[in-house]
A and B are shown apart, each in its own frame.
Chain A
Amino acid sequence: GQNIDQPTEMTATEGAIVQINCTYQTSGFNGLFWYQQHAGEAPTFLSYNVLDGLEEKGRFSSFLSRSKGYSYLLLKELQMKDSASYLCAGGGFQKLVFGTGTRLLVSP
């Protein structure tokens, strides 16, 4: 089966760093994605990890540990526009399974 868990909501202040965790149990795992979704909008791709380790892309970084079934998304120098839901997704070919999303609220 496939199960992805992430916190429902997090809050942080502008300029801070926040880490959003995701744990998963998947069969046929083939990589882990992070998507950002602003309210009422389409999810947009942030990152994809298939190997263990940290992938850095500007203010956003994503980490994967396959042996632990664990990933996190790290957001640095938070901006107000980063207020959104962050979706962790993984699985095998042809069927990506999403977590429920973590709603991040960034305050001034």
Chain B
Amino acid sequence: GAGVSQSPRYKVAKRGQDVALRCDPISGHVSLFWYQQALGQGPEFLTYFQNEAQLDKSGLPSDRFFAERPEGSVSTLKIQRTQQEDSAVYLCASSLDETGGGGGELFFGEGSRLTVL
């Protein structure tokens, strides 16, 4: 597609439910990132993929968060047993540059807004 596509755009979950957020990056982009953005804050790094390899997951807040990119294109961020503090916008970004943003522009999707009740 022309840009980074994320789905669902909006997700309401009851506390304790599992959710899965999908990211379809720009075709051919090597690097893929997930960021979490709370209201009024900047995006905070969660995890980074280079093709199918997850090279950095240091930003994942707990072991309830899991991300994968099995074929090096589409990625899924899964949150198990959601809690209210997980409410945020989850942004996916991709980059052609395999240095992962060190020199390459990031292209962001519009995000998935998760609200946990």
| Candidates B35, B40, B102, B105; contact of A94 at CB < 8 Å | B102
B103, A96: Cβ atoms closer than 8 Å: no
- Bound together, the chains give a CA A44 to CA B109 distance in angstroms of 9
Please count how many residues in chain B sit with their CB below 8 Å of the partner chain's CB atoms: 29
B41, A93: Cβ atoms closer than 8 Å: no
A42, B109: Cβ atoms closer than 8 Å: yes
Given A42-B91, A42-B111, A43-B91, do A96 and B44 touch, yes or no (CB 8 Å)?
A: no
B1 interfacial by beta-carbon distance below 8 Å = no
B103, A94: Cβ atoms closer than 8 Å: no
Give A95's nearest chain B residue, CB to CB. B45
A50 interfacial by beta-carbon distance below 8 Å = yes
- A-side interface mostly: strand
- B-side interface mostly: loop
B102, A31: Cβ atoms closer than 8 Å: yes
Interface residues on A, range: 20 to 34
- Bound together, the chains give a CA A30 to CA B4 distance in angstroms of 24
Q: For A41, A91, A94, which residue has the most chain B Cβ atoms within 10 angstroms?
A: A94
A98, B42: Cβ atoms closer than 8 Å: yes
B110, A41: Cβ atoms closer than 8 Å: yes
- Bound together, the chains give a CA A96 to CA B108 distance in angstroms of 13
A94, B108: Cβ atoms closer than 8 Å: no
**What is B's interface to A at a CB cutoff of 8 Å?**
4, 31, 33, 35, 40-45, 48, 50, 55-56, 58-59, 91, 99-103, 105-111
Known: A30-B102, A43-B106, A89-B42. 14 other contacts (CB 8 A): A30-B99, A31-B102, A43-B43, A43-B91, A45-B107, A48-B105, A87-B42, A94-B56, A95-B59, A95-B101, A96-B101, A96-B106, A98-B35, A100-B42
